[in-house]
Structure 1
Amino acid sequence: MSTLGSASATPPTAVLCEDEELVRELVRDVLEMEGFSVASFSTADAGWDYLQNHLNEVVLLVSDIRMPGRLDGIDLARLAANACPELHVVLSSAYCAGADLPQRDHSFFLSKPWKLEHLIQVCHKTMEELKSKGDS
């Protein structure tokens, strides 16, 4: 059964990790407008704690790379992708280039400052893949 199959279906879950509150609120709003239920956190550590308990529910991880705490966004992405290879991951940073990151299916890099259209494109791609999985 597709998670997108009907209006009464539970929306797919995205985890958002961003330490800048205004950016976190903006991204959360965009993700919700694109049809996701969003669990948002100000650290990758808190995001990982949530993911460990809800990994089967989460389809998209959006994380800044540089954040306070034990884990950064790259650590979080690696842990999450190892636990769930089908998870879509979006990493964002103003401090590194996407070429510096490990390459894998379902991974995207948004260089800050990014445009809303780029985040929306990633959301659409994720939703399309979810829908095609649900249709098969």
Structure 2
Amino acid sequence: MNSTISVPYALAVDDDGLIRMNVLDILEDAGFRTLEAENGDRAIAVLEQHQASIALLFTDVQMPGSRDGFALAKEVFRRWPHIAVVVASGHVRPTTGDLPDGVHFLAKPFSAETVHDHLRAMLPDGRKPDPLKA
């Protein structure tokens, strides 16, 4: 698989539609094409269909369904190691063992600038959309 994606996709996962829309806007401003899911189970279905195009998973922690954001991050890290993962929460902080090494955590609320700075630092150049390369 070619490690460079011409226009990378990001998958935003949050059960709160307003927060998900805000995350989608932030990711689109960063230059990503976006996909969305309302919970971890739906996210896995999207990932199974589009995993070759997805460079980033941005997920909330607390969601309905069989997978919370920590479980989703672990599964994506195991099944699709080429996908960078950011986990965000305003209520829960990860403890030892909650997240694999290399998965980033952001506390809510966050600004677009904070998200963009994290993405610039964590994504390799070949996986960054042009606006993050500046």
Using structure 1 for the length normalisation, give the TM-score: 0.81
Alignment partner of 1:96 out of 74, 92, 97: 92
**Alignment match, 2:126:** 131
Q: How do residues 1-136 of structure 1 correspond to structure 2 at under 5 angstroms?
A: 2-3=4-5, 9=6, 11-100=7-96, 101-105=98-102, 107-127=103-123, 129-131=124-126
Q: Which has the higher helix share?
A: 1
> Could you say what secondary structure the match of 2:52 adopts?
helix
CA contact (8 A) 2:74 2:100 kept: no
Aligned length: 125
CA contact (8 A) 1:60 1:126 kept: no
Runs of 5+ unmatched residues, structure 1 = 4-8
CA contact (8 A) 2:55 2:127 kept: no
Cα deviation, residue 126, structure 1: 4.7
Most deviating of 112-121 and 37-46: 112-121
**Alignment match, 2:132:** none
Backbone CA RMSD of aligned residues: 2.0
Rounded to whole Å, the distance in 1 between the matches of 2:122 and 2:28 is 14
> Could you say what secondary structure the match of 2:51 adopts?
helix
Runs of 5+ unmatched residues, structure 2 = 129-134
Using structure 2 for the length normalisation, give the TM-score: 0.82
Query: Runs of 4+ in structure 1 displaced over 3 angstroms?
Result: none
The structure number with the bigger radius of gyration is 1
